[in-house]
Amino acid sequence: MDYRVRLDSFEGPLDLLLHLIEKNEVDIYDIPIAVITEQYFDYLSAAEEVNLDNLAEFLVMAATLISIKTRMLFPRPDAVPPDGGEEEDDPREELVQRLLLYRKFKEVASYLASRQEGEEPRVYYREDDGRQEDTSPAEVRASLPELFRAFQAIWAEKRAKPASYVVTQADVDVGEKMKDLLYRLRQHPRGMVFQDLFTTAGSRREALVLFLALLELVRQRQVRATQDTSFGRIRVQLLD
Amino acid sequence: MLARDEIKAAIEAMLFASGEPLPLEEIARVVGIPVEDTNGILNELVLEYNKSGHGIQVVEAAAGYSLCTKDTYYQFVKAVRRRPAKKLSQAALETLAIIAYQQPVTRAEIEAIRGVRAERMLNSLLARGLIAEAGRKEVPGRPVLYVTTPEFLKLFGMTGLTDLPREDKEA
Amino acid sequence: MLARDEIKAAIEAMLFASGEPLPLEEIARVVGIPVEDTNGILNELVLEYNKSGHGIQVVEAAAGYSLCTKDTYYQFVKAVRRRPAKKLSQAALETLAIIAYQQPVTRAEIEAIRGVRAERMLNSLLARGLIAEAGRKEVPGRPVLYVTTPEFLKLFGMTGLTDLPREDKEA
């Protein structure tokens, strides 16, 4: 496989999914979920360098994809109707709606870009002439929230930098990570936020292995992952 | 007291010189005549500039009145603009697109649509003056609501949010 | 080819939207008609705007043609061009944020965090009285230490450095 695309070149998991749908020329209303999920994981593994902050977002989607795939393979038993006993919906429905909505705003974004560039009819306001600007020296204004935002921006950047790694073969294995996760979850009886599980991961590879370990624990029913709202935080908890 | 003709000229000068849209009330206060009379003069100005033969127009948006070019002549104007605004990143454009259509909108709502965290992007758009905070949503956590600013309209050459394409027109 | 009326309108739009005076030749080139004809249209525009009833005018200077307000309406223009106190730049805010949270701090420390040279920014903040020098750090080279000033507190409406927001309060 030759995926020479950087994960960073996608705006996020939805952008990557749209790319895959387009590349495979499949119907967005009838996504072959197994194929797309596989390719999605291929992208994650092929990415050479990735910002860990972003990786969490990609992994949340990976979890969603796997859950959809599972639901398509094993429809829920009729005995346990999910909410209210309606007929089982297409498990892909919600994802499709999200993709459609995101695609709409992506289109608006490129429309805005062409307006900015003057490729579409548009009005122009006066250009501030530089002459007016530097005549008044001292008066400046600023606000405390602005200062704090600047502070956060700087530190976020600083944190982001060392979090970016070129993948080296580290000796992390799934079994090790499963033990690790169980240990950490025991420290948090009320559960942990999915993203927070990854803050200790030193590399993309380690994060991936951690993710696989989590999936295995979910499969073995040692751990439960819940999400209240679509795209809300995923909470991970020990099952006793 | 100025003659009516001169008040009109003064208003034209004010619209030209102000870097931001001017609210009707402020114009009335500065020229020192009642708001209704000011409104009448502004309507005259709007009509006069709407005539062909003029390449500029007086437009009214939520924030007030301003002068801008007519969109018909965009290619000529583009050719003489000296300081093209810096291109925005795809992430910035997508975030702005969502805010423009869904405003007022919370950070969580933006994140739900884009699927990625929005905090840093919102800070940077706030710093550029393209969006502003507009109170809080009355739901648990009282999250901040974001709206676009007149600066946003200016950057994308719109006279109002109605210039945004609508679903039915597009697609 | 545009009608004469439309060329005139296009020129008006160009003069309005350009931040700098436009040379006759450039205008002619952009609208695509001979220089003499362009000159004729510009003269018409000059005369029309000179009429009373207009607060703006077309003027010709060495550098070219431009639109500006008439001197007569100076008072009105001044009233709306409330020179908005200039916003501090993002770079200045970031530098101030580092100094505020890490003070006393050396230039090298600031540069290490922001990843860019800080000398000019520090000079400008010193000149504005927002930061001050506070002795030297006892390390090789004895670099100057910077701290924020009471003026800084005033600008951000704080009564003391304890008013600085802390990370844990947010998120």
pLDDT tens per residue across span B12-21? 999 999 888 9
* Per-residue pLDDT, A162: 44
Q: Which of C12, C27, C76 sits opposite B55 (nearest CB)?
A: C12
Q: Are residues B67 and B16 in the same domain?
A: yes
CB of A149 less than 8 A from some CB of B:
yes
Work out the pLDDT band at B160, boundaries 50, 70, 90. very high
- β-strands A140-141, C86-87 pairing: parallel
C12 burial level (CB within 10 Å; 0-12, 13-18, 19+): buried
In a domain, B169, yes or no: no
Q: Are residues C11 and C64 in the same domain?
A: yes
With vertex at residue B62, the alpha carbon angle to CA B85 and CA B56, rounded to the nearest 5 degrees, is 55
Of residues A142 and C151, which shows the higher confidence score?
C151
* Per-residue pLDDT, A146: 74
- Range with the lowest mean pLDDT among A204-213, B31-40, C55-64, C114-123? A204-213
Q: Give C142 to chain A, closest Cα distance, Å.
A: 26
In a domain, B33, yes or no: yes
How far apart CA A111 and CA B167 sit, in angstroms, is: 13
Identify the domain boundary among C19, C51, C80: C80
- Residue A221, CB half-sphere, CA atoms under 13 Å: how many? 1
In a domain, B171, yes or no: no
**Mean pLDDT, residues A6-13 taken together:** 80
DSSP state of B81: -
Helix A52-73 with A13-23: angle, nearest 10 deg: 60
Question: What residue of A is the nearest CA neighbor of C151?
Answer: A140
In a domain, C169, yes or no: no
Q: Are residues B17 and B62 in the same domain?
A: yes
In a domain, B85, yes or no: no
In a domain, B131, yes or no: yes
B60 burial level (CB within 10 Å; 0-12, 13-18, 19+): middle
CB of A94 less than 8 A from some CB of B:
no
In a domain, B114, yes or no: yes
Question: What is the domain range of residue C130?
Answer: 90-163
CB of A100 less than 8 A from some CB of B:
no
Subunits with at least 3 CB pairs below 8 A relative to chain B?
A: A, C
Contacts of A188 by beta carbon, 8 Å cutoff, 6+ apart:
none
**Which of A81, C33, B143 shows the shortest CA–CA distance to C8?**
C33
Q: Are residues C119 and C74 in the same domain?
A: no
CATH number for the domain spanning B99: value is 1.10.10.10
**Mean pLDDT, residues A140-146 taken together:** 71
SS3 call for B105 = strand
Work out the pLDDT band at B7, boundaries 50, 70, 90. very high
Q: Are residues C58 and C125 in the same domain?
A: no
Question: Does residue A202 have a pLDDT over 90?
Answer: no
Question: Does residue A79 have a pLDDT over 50?
Answer: no
Question: Does residue A32 have a pLDDT over 70?
Answer: yes
CB of C70 less than 8 A from some CB of A:
no
Q: Are residues C18 and C41 in the same domain?
A: yes
How far apart CA C46 and CA C164 sit, in angstroms, is: 56
Work out the pLDDT band at C44, boundaries 50, 70, 90. very high
* Per-residue pLDDT, A147: 75
Q: Give A108 to chain C, closest Cα distance, Å.
A: 26
Q: A202 phi and psi, to 5 degrees?
A: -85, -15
Question: Does residue B171 have a pLDDT over 50?
Answer: no
Complete DSSP assignment for chain C: ---HHHHHHHHHHHHHH-SS-B-HHHHHHHHTS-HHHHHHHHHHHHHHHHSTT-SEEEEEETTEEEEEE-GGGHHHHHHH---PPEEPPHHHHHHHHHHHHH-SEEHHHHHHHHSS--HHHHHHHHHTTSEEEEEE-SSTT-PEEEEE-HHHHHHTT-SSGGGS--GGG--
In a domain, B170, yes or no: no
**Mean pLDDT, residues C16-36 taken together:** 94
Question: Would you call C170 and A152 a contact, using CB atoms and an 8 Å cutoff?
Answer: yes
Question: Would you call B12 and C72 a contact, using CB atoms and an 8 Å cutoff?
Answer: no
From the candidates B1, B12, B57, which should be mutated to test the interface with C, based on the most C CB atoms within 10 A?
A: B12
Subunits with at least 3 CB pairs below 8 A relative to chain C?
A: A, B
Q: Are residues B61 and B127 in the same domain?
A: no
Mean pLDDT of the residues in chain B: 91
Question: Does residue A54 have a pLDDT over 80?
Answer: no
Question: Does residue A185 have a pLDDT over 70?
Answer: yes
The one-letter amino acid at A93: E
Q: Are residues C65 and C105 in the same domain?
A: no
Contacts of C166 by beta carbon, 8 Å cutoff, 6+ apart:
none
* Per-residue pLDDT, A229: 64
Q: Which of A54, A106, A116 sits opposite B156 (nearest CB)?
A: A116
Q: Are residues B108 and B75 in the same domain?
A: no
Q: Taking the model in full, what pTM does it have?
A: 0.69
Question: Does residue A211 have a pLDDT over 70?
Answer: yes
From the candidates A129, A147, A152, which should be mutated to test the interface with C, based on the most C CB atoms within 10 A?
A: A147
Question: Does residue A86 have a pLDDT over 70?
Answer: no
Question: What residue of B is the nearest CA neighbor of C41?
Answer: B53
From the candidates A148, A159, A193, which should be mutated to test the interface with C, based on the most C CB atoms within 10 A?
A: A148
**Which of C128, C130, C162 shows the shortest CA–CA distance to C146?**
C130
Question: Does residue C37 have a pLDDT over 70?
Answer: yes
Question: Does residue A167 have a pLDDT over 70?
Answer: no
The one-letter amino acid at B118: A
How far apart CA A22 and CA A15 sit, in angstroms, is: 11
Are C25 and C35 in contact by the 8 Å Cβ rule? The answer is yes
Of residues C93 and A129, which shows the higher confidence score?
C93
Residues of B in contact with C13 (CB under 8 A): 55-56, 69-70, 73, 76-77
**Mean pLDDT, residues A59-87 taken together:** 72
Q: Are residues B98 and B33 in the same domain?
A: no
Are A21 and A36 in contact by the 8 Å Cβ rule? The answer is yes
Question: Would you call A123 and B101 a contact, using CB atoms and an 8 Å cutoff?
Answer: no
* Per-residue pLDDT, A183: 87
Question: Does residue C15 have a pLDDT over 90?
Answer: yes
Q: Which of A138, A139, A158 sits opposite C113 (nearest CB)?
A: A158
Contacts of C16 by beta carbon, 8 Å cutoff, 6+ apart:
A124, A126, B55, B56, B67, B69, C67
Q: Give A126 to chain B, closest Cα distance, Å.
A: 7
Predicted complex: ipTM over 0.85 = no
Are B156 and B149 in contact by the 8 Å Cβ rule? The answer is no
Identify the domain boundary among B25, B59, B80: B80
- β-strands C56-61, C64-69 pairing: antiparallel
How far apart CA C86 and CA A136 sit, in angstroms, is: 9
Q: Give B96 to chain C, closest Cα distance, Å.
A: 19
DSSP-H helix ranges across chain A = 13-23, 33-46, 52-73, 93-116, 130-133, 144-160, 174-187, 204-219
Helix A144-160 with B119-127: angle, nearest 10 deg: 130
Q: Are residues B62 and B97 in the same domain?
A: no
Identify the domain boundary among B25, B45, B80: B80
Question: Would you call C16 and B54 a contact, using CB atoms and an 8 Å cutoff?
Answer: no
Q: Are residues B8 and B73 in the same domain?
A: yes
For residue A84, give both structure tokens: 């209210």
* Per-residue pLDDT, B130: 94
Provide the number of structural domains found in chain C: 2
Mean pLDDT of the residues in chain A: 76
Question: Would you call B93 and A126 a contact, using CB atoms and an 8 Å cutoff?
Answer: no
SS3 call for A136 = coil
CB of B13 less than 8 A from some CB of A:
no
**Mean pLDDT, residues B144-155 taken together:** 94
Residues C96-131 have pLDDT tens digits of 999 998 999 999 999 988 888 898 899 989 988 899
**Mean pLDDT, residues B124-137 taken together:** 91
Question: Does residue C69 have a pLDDT over 60?
Answer: yes
For residue A13, give both structure tokens: 């998991």
Work out the pLDDT band at A164, boundaries 50, 70, 90. very low
Bridge partners, residue A165, by sequence: A50
**Mean pLDDT, residues A20-47 taken together:** 90
Q: Give A240 to chain B, closest Cα distance, Å.
A: 31
**Which of A166, C66, A96, C72 shows the shortest CA–CA distance to B14?**
C72
